[in-house]
Amino acid sequence: MIPQNVTSRYARNLLTKGRNSDFVIVTLTRQYHAVEGLTIGHYYSVDIGGGNYPTKEAVGVTPEQAVERCLRKHGVTFR
């Protein structure tokens, strides 16, 4: 069953440990955005999957934001 009404601590623990009882972080990468060879910013991309759940991807400005967005794609709700 997908966790519901969790706090941001749930996403933070998943990020720091790499896994929990429901999900596993498959990859977490920092991507650079460049224009004409000049880096103008970066963002984080995360793939999260687990046992009965297919792997889904999300991006964010911080690793925490990327993880939370990906969990929302899986159906996790936050307070």
pLDDT in tens, 41-79: 999 999 999 888 899 999 999 999 999 999 999 999 999
Return the CA Rg of the chain.
Answer: 13
Q: How far apart are CA 47 and CA 45, in angstroms?
A: 7
Q: What is the pLDDT of residue 78?
A: 95
Q: Where are the alpha helices (DSSP H) in the chain?
A: 8-17, 63-74
pTM of the model: 0.91
Q: Indicate if the pLDDT at residue 1 is higher than 90.
A: no
Which residues, 6 or more positions from 25, have their beta carbon under 8 angstroms from its beta carbon? 14, 15, 18, 19, 46, 47, 48, 67
Q: What is the pLDDT of residue 66?
A: 97
Is residue 33 within 8 Å of residue 23, measured between CB atoms? no
Give mean pLDDT, residues 16-38.
95
